[in-house]
Amino acid sequence: MASLNAGPEYYHAEEKYHDAGTIEEKIAALQEMLKFCPKHKAAHSILTDIKSKLGRYRKEAVREELAKRGRKGGGSSGFVRKQGGAQVIVLGFPNSGKSFLVNLLAGTRLASTDTPFETKQAAPAMMDYNRVQIQLVDTPSGHEGNKLLLFAMARAADLALVLIDGTQDVAAQKAFFGSLKHKRRLDLHLHRDAEKHAGEIRDKIYSSLRIVRVFTRSKNGKDDRPIVLFEGATAVRDAARTIHKDFFEHLKCARVWGSTRFPGQQVGAAYALRDGDTVELEMHSNRDAV
């Protein structure tokens, strides 16, 4: 890796990277290099190279972990197929209350005891909130052996919910989850009387997802269940893509009720929809409106 005018910490991390014998050691060294690498313009290509290597080694580590599970007869990859409008991965240390929280919010009975590492595999449950089905995924307790796999699951989800248990070493928990980068992340300190705060917790999860609900209107009337979009991707074309790729590819225009100046106003594919809007898509090639 190219040299640059950096402090001794960076070069020490670079040496560790070259001497590393395992993927985990390489990842740890690259993270240090990223931390201590100068952020000026001349270092841009080196920073890009570090990030690229990090991404590649993380994927390789996850593949190794999945292969190891397969050899041991574990079978499941640990990943849970997304269902509903949004997926929330619940992470935490042993006895942090992950299973308890999922059961509380979704009304399920996933295994929840004081025994550490009780949850062996990721387990989904559905929370219905504001007419949106939100899939909550209970995960095995976080430790160095499954860290990369858990983080990969979290990055594939719409929200990473990290439970911080105030009765345990808070600094250790924050350090463990500190390297988890996600565009939508919620760190939650779970109260022992969480039942009294269930509504507040649901609100926090929903607001952290930054959901924009859009209802569809067709010849059969208005759908009760909304299309779920997320802030930053709320254009009419995004709604069409969410419904089906054919709608996206053959989209002509749309009519919108709600945020437009008058009901049923015709808009283009780039029009930004707002929460609660109703949309009717019109297609090219004499296709029916949806």
Residue 246 placed within a domain: yes
Asked whether the predicted pLDDT for residue 179 surpasses 70, the reply is yes
Q: What is the CATH number of the domain that holds 117?
A: 3.40.50.300
Asked if 192 and 101 sit in the same domain, the reply is yes
Torsion angles phi and psi, residue 90, rounded to 5? -100, 120
Whether residue 2 has pLDDT greater than 50:
no
What pLDDT does 75 receive?
A: 45
Kindly indicate the confidence band of residue 280, based on its pLDDT and cuts at 50, 70 and 90.
very high
pLDDT at 30 exceeding the cut of 60: yes
Tell me the average pLDDT across 83-91.
Answer: 96
Q: Say yes or no: 163 and 64 in one domain.
A: no
Could you give phi then psi for residue 21, rounded to 5 degrees? Answer: -105, -15
Query: Domain total for the chain?
Result: 3
Residue 3 forms part of a structural domain: no
How confident is the model over 146-155, as a mean pLDDT? 89
Give this prediction's pTM.
0.74
- Tell me, what CATH number does 263's domain have? 3.10.20.30
Containing H/E element for 135? strand 132-138
Q: 99 lies in a domain?
A: yes
Distance between CA 136 and CA 126 in Å, rounded?
6
- 218: domain range? 211-283
- Considering only residues 195 and 136, tell me which one the structure prediction assigns the higher pLDDT: 136
Residue 268 lies in a domain: yes
The residue from 71, 98, 114 where one domain ends is 71
pLDDT of residue 145: 83
Q: Is the pLDDT of residue 109 over 80?
A: no
The 3-state secondary structure of 61-101 reads HHHHHHHHHHHCCCCCCCCCCCCCCEEEEEECCCCCCHHHH
Count of CB atoms situated within 10 Å of the CB of 11: 14
Same domain, yes or no, for 102 and 142? yes
Task: Please report whether residue 289 resides in a domain.
Answer: no
Q: Give the tokens for residue 130.
A: 């504001």
Q: Output b/e per residue, 231-257; b: 16+ Cβ within 10 A.
A: eeebbbbbbbbbbeeebbeebebbbbb
pLDDT of residue 108: 82
Mean pLDDT over the full length of the chain:
86
User: What is the model's pLDDT at position 114?
Assistant: 54
